Structure 1
Amino acid sequence: MARPVTNAAFEGLLLAAGYANAHAAFARQLNHAGRDQGTWRYDAASVYWWLRGRRPGEHVQAAMAETLTRKLDRSVAVTELGFGALDSVGASVYPASVDGAIDTAEQIWTRLAKHLHPQVSGAFDSGKALNAALSWRYDLPDEAVSRNGRQQVTPTDVQSLYALADHFTDLDRRHGSGSPHTRAVMADFLARQVAPMLHGTYTEAVGRDLMRAVATLCGQLAFMSYDAGDHATAQQHVTVALRLAKAAGDRLYGAHLLANLATQAVHLGHSRDAARLAEAAIDGARRAPAAVLARLHATAATAYAQSGERRGSQLALARAERALDRAGAVPGPGWVTYFSRAHLAGAALRCLGDLQLYSQALDHVPDALALASENTRTRALHTALVAVTHARAGDTDAACNWGRTLAQHASGIQSARVQQRVRELVTTLSPQQTSHEVNEVLRSLATMPRAA
């Protein structure tokens, strides 16, 4: 039995334009109108679902209005289509359904690809982040994600997405994400190639893996936006990635994404909400592999330290260290292999510095810098942290030495996070800029590249 039409406005426009019994013809015209967006494959089934409440992306709605304008010989506004305002787009709202997640993903990818996102977003919403954590943790699992569309999606197609995610992750770690070009290229690929896959035909098993792969790509794009300082865009993407991970049934990757939200919250100074997000990630991960737990507890430690909760931070660091000691016996998922003893040492250096335990913090310096060669940005971040810790501890000579090393390590890296660490060092050293050595270091730091 056909479901009742819920979008009477759209139905009326189709009727007036002569498409009441020609949904396939309308879809063909729509595909033609959207040809500059890539290869659209909408069909009569797509129209069926639009009439029954599914909301297409704003770029699709614009093409619908264009198609109906030509047919009716009058201007048709997007607002006449009956899909409602796109209030949730850009608002980091956790989608209630898989279809909602797919539609939202397509919209935010298109916006980023076309540079339609705000140039200075900055608006991280802790409340929505916490609501997303609750929904991810306690909403019922999705019973089915299989779909019948026009494009057949195979396991090989999905594996290619994982390879692409690895490629962008490597670029990000080596060069930073300050340039909008890389993110726009990635978003354009997602909008043109991956969105049609999500709307395609796949079995339950392939569908779950597809959701996991797309969550990985979306999560990487979120992290890149965070590194570039585009915090609203980062939160939008990580929220959608969290919903896709839920659809995939991958609670471990969902916990990882939630920890990324916590890390972003720490970066922006929302320490108490960051601690709640980190604890929600730990709770949701449950009996996770040791490597995953090490990363999650390290994130919680940084949130507690920023809040000044010494005991909570030190307990979390101890749990992270014990977990990492066990990690070799039971390897975790591939995406957590980056978290090494150097990363944990960097977290300890930051935590103990925030707690003003500078001598203990500096004990972690050798381990924090024992990074793999591809971790170029992390090396710059840790080096800056070492310099700042020395400066705050009152050792200006050591701070200057590390400041000179930082100027070398950060050359060619575009990262808002690295820039923030540099600003922290400059702020701490500036009262002593009458010193020739300090002034020389400040000048060298001033020549470092900035994120676009």
Structure 2
Amino acid sequence: MARPVTNAAFEGLLRAAGYGNAHAAFARQLNHAGREQGTWRYDAASVYWWLRGRRPGEHAQAAMTETLARKLGRSVATTELGFGAVDSIGMCVYPASVDRAIYTSEQIWTMLGKHLNQHASGVFDSGKALEAALGWRYDLPDKAVSRSGRQQITSTDVQSLYALADHFTDLDRRHGSGSPRTRAVMADFLVRQVSPMLHGAYTDAVGRDLMRAAATLSGQLAFMSYDAGEHLMAQHHVTLGLRLAKAAGDRLYGAHLLANLATQAVFLGHARESARLAEAAIDGAGRAPAAVLARLHATAATAYGQSGERRACELSLTKAERTLDRTGTDPGPRWVGYFSPAHLAGAALRCLGDLRLYAQALRHAPDALNLGSRNTRTRALHTALVAMTHARAGDTDSACKWSQQLTQHTSGIESERVQQRIRALTRTLSAQRPSPQVNEVLHALAALPTVT
């Protein structure tokens, strides 16, 4: 039995324009109107779902108003279509089904395009983050993700998405994501190319790989948004990525995304919620490769360090160190290859410093700075952390020395996280006894370019 129409406004416009029983013809007109948008493949089924509550992207709505206006002989406003506003969608809500995840993905990616030059309203919602973790961990697996559509999707099509994700990951690590330019390109690609692919035709095997690739792109966009200080938007993207990873049946990548959410929660001071997210990731990952477990335990350590739970922090660090030692025989998926001894040392430096165990923390400083040439942002973050730990320990001379080095490592990096570390270092140094050396360093830090 067909589902009842829920968008009466849209149905009325279709009937008035002569498309009441010609949904396929209306879809063809949309494809023609959107020929400059890329490979649109809307059909009668698309119209069916729009009539029953699914919300098309703003680019498709613009084509609808153009097509209907031409037939009706008058202008048509998007508000007449009956789809509501993008901003009204609860996009931190973990989608209950694959169809809902596909539908929501287009809305989130479209919303990103709207807000690239302004901060999205709202704040990180730790409650919604925990709900997403529960949904990812305990919801039943999807039995099938195959679809019937006009555009046939192949394994070769999906592989091109992974290559693009690698490209954006490299740009992010080298230059940061404070500038909206890179995210604008990525958002445009997701809306114009990836969303139509998700609505296309594919087998279950290809569909799961496509979901994994879309989760990878959404996860990368989430991390870039987090690095840029767009925390609500980052949570939107990582929640979607979790659901797509669930559809793909990839529990390891889902655990990785959940750990990213925990990292964001630590950054924002939600230590206890972060610990719960990290533990859920560890539990959900199961018998994971050593590199994946090392990263997850390191994330848990930073959460416990911030919440002042010394025993749990040190236990997590020990687990991370032991598992990382086994990565030579158990390297894990290629996406976790970034996590090196330097990244673990940076986590140890952070969490032990939070526990005010400064001498122990600083033992990890040399390893934390033993980074590859591509990790320019991480080098800046770790250098600032070393300087701040020296300052908190009362060693002003060493703090100033490392602060001077920091000024040399921030060139070309646009990252709100780096800016936050610089601000924290400035506050810590400002509290020290005034001296010409401290004043010189403070002046140098104040002169560093900020993210706009």
TM range (shorter): over 0.9
Q: How many angstroms does 1:51 deviate by? A: 2.8
8 Å contact from structure 1 (residues 114, 184) kept in 2:
no
Cα 1:150/1:17, change in 2 over 3 Å: same
8 Å CA contact retained: 1:433, 1:439: no
Moved more, 144-153 or 361-370: 144-153
Structure 1 residue 80: Cα displacement: 4.3
Q: CA deviation at 1:3?
A: 4.9
Q: CA deviation at 1:174?
A: 0.9
User: Residue type matched to 2:441 in 1?
Assistant: V
How far did 1:303 drift? Answer: 0.6
3-state SS of 2:41 partner: coil
Two-structure CA RMSD over aligned residues (Å)? 1.9
Equivalent position of 2:96 in the other structure: 96
Greater Cα shift, 141-150 or 88-97: 88-97
| DSSP 3-state at the match of 2:108 | helix
Separation of aligned partners in 2, 1:450 and 1:116: 17
Distance, in Å, in 1 between the alignment partners of 2:345 and 2:122 is 29
Name the CA distance, whole Å, in 2 between partners of 1:277 and 1:80.
Answer: 42
Residue 179 of structure 1: how far off its partner (Å): 0.7
- Residue pairs, 1:268-279, within 5 angstroms: 268-279=268-279
Unaligned runs of 5+ in 2: none
Counterpart check, 1:168 vs 2:168: yes
Kindly provide the CA deviation profile for residues 150-175 of structure 1, in whole angstroms up to 9, marking residues without a partner as x.
21211111111111111111111111
Between the two proteins, the alignment pairs up a number of residues equal to 452
CA distance, structure 2, for counterparts of residue 65 and residue 368 of structure 1? 55
Aligned twin of 1:381: 381
Question: Contact (CA 8 Å) 2:116, 2:180: kept in 1 or not?
Answer: no
Q: Is the 8 A contact 1:304 1:313 kept in 2?
A: yes
Q: In 1, Cα distance between the equivalents of 2:111 and 2:52?
A: 25
1:189 match: secondary structure: helix
**Post-superposition shift, 1:45?**
2.2
What letter is aligned with 1:250?
Answer: D
CA separation in 2, counterparts of 1:404 and 1:90?
45
How far residue 73 of structure 1 moved from its aligned partner, in angstroms, is 3.7
User: Do the aligned partners of residues 430 and 327 (structure 1) sit closer, same or farther apart at CA in structure 2, a change above 3 Å counting?
Assistant: same
Pairing 1:367–2:367 present: yes
- Cα offset for 1:443? 1.4
Tell me the distance in 1 between the aligned counterparts of 2:346 and 2:31: 51
Aligned residue runs from structure 1 range 46-85, under 5 A: 46-74=46-74, 76-83=76-83
Give deviations 1:317-369, integer Å, cap 9, x for gaps: 11111111122211211111111111111100001000000000001111111
User: Which amino acid counterpart does residue 108 of structure 1 have in structure 2?
Assistant: I
Question: Are the counterparts in 2 of residues 380 and 409 from structure 1 also a CA contact under 8 Å?
Answer: yes
Change in 2 beyond 3 A, CA 1:373/1:122: farther
Asked if 2 retains the 8 angstrom alpha-carbon contact of 1:121 and 1:231, the reply is: no
Please give the alpha-carbon distance, in whole angstroms, between the structure 1 residues aligned to 2:339 and 2:60: 40
Alpha-carbon distance in 2 for matches of 1:100, 1:86: 15
1:41 lines up with 2:41 in the alignment: yes
Cα contact 1:290–1:324 (8 A) shared by 2? yes
What is the match of residue 10 of structure 2?
A: 10
Provide the residue aligned with 1:406 in structure 2: 406
Q: Distance in 1 between matches of 2:141 and 2:117?
A: 31
Partner of 1:352: 352
Q: Which moved more, 1:386-395 or 1:237-246?
A: 237-246
Structure 1 residues not aligned, in runs of 5+: none
1:373 CA drift (Å): 1.4
Contact 2:106 2:195 in 1 (8 A): yes
Q: How far apart are residue 52 of structure 1 and its match?
A: 3.6
Q: Give the C-alpha shift of residue 115 in structure 1.
A: 3.8
Question: SS of the counterpart of 2:431?
Answer: helix
Mean Cα deviation higher: 25-34 or 180-189: 25-34
| Equivalent-residue separation in structure 2 for 1:301 and 1:432 (angstroms) | 29
Quick one: distance in 2 between partners of 1:55 and 1:5? Answer: 13
Distance in 2 between the 1:357 and 1:216 partners?
A: 36
| Structure 2 residue identity aligned to 1:255 | A
- How far off is 1:114 after superposition? 4.3
Q: Establish whether residue 29 from structure 1 lines up as the match of residue 29 from structure 2.
A: yes
Report deviation, 1:84.
Answer: 5.1
1:356-388 per-position Cα deviation (integer Å, ceiling 9, x unaligned): 000000011111111111111111111100000
Amino acid at match of 1:352: L
Listed as ranges, the matches of 1:237-386 within 5 Å are 237-386=237-386
Q: Distance in 1 between matches of 2:302 and 2:152?
A: 44
Q: Is the 8 A contact 2:116 2:184 kept in 1?
A: no
Counterpart secondary structure, 1:326: coil
Question: Residue type matched to 2:23 in 1?
Answer: H
User: What is the distance in 1 between the residues matched to 2:257 and 2:121?
Assistant: 20
Q: Which moved more, 1:256-265 or 1:77-86?
A: 77-86
Deviation per CA, 1:118-160: give whole Å up to 9, x if none.
Answer: 4254611111111111111111111111112121211111111
Compute the displacement of 1:410 (Å).
Answer: 1.4
Whether the aligned pair in 1 keeps the contact of 2:86 and 2:111 (CA below 8 Å) is: no
Check 1:337–1:88 CA distance in 2 against 1; reply closer, same or farther (3 A cut).
farther
Partner of 2:202: 202
Tell me the CA shift for residue 67 of structure 1. 2.8
Give the corresponding residue for 1:139.
139
Q: Deviations over 1:230-276 (max 9, x none)?
A: 11111111111111101101011001000000000000101111111
Other-structure match for 1:20: 20
- CA drift of 1:433 comes to 6.8
Change (3 A) 1:409 1:116: closer
Whether the aligned pair in 2 keeps the contact of 1:298 and 1:344 (CA below 8 Å) is: yes
| The 10-residue stretch of structure 1 (144-153 or 202-211) with the greater mean CA deviation from structure 2 | 144-153
Is the 8 Å Cα contact of residues 115 and 184 (structure 1) preserved in structure 2?
Answer: no
**Preserved CA contact (<8 Å) 2:178 2:228:** yes
TM-score w.r.t. structure 1 length?
0.95
- 1: CA distance between counterparts of 2:368 and 2:388? 14
Distance in structure 2 (CA, Å) of the matches to 1:374 and 1:209:
28
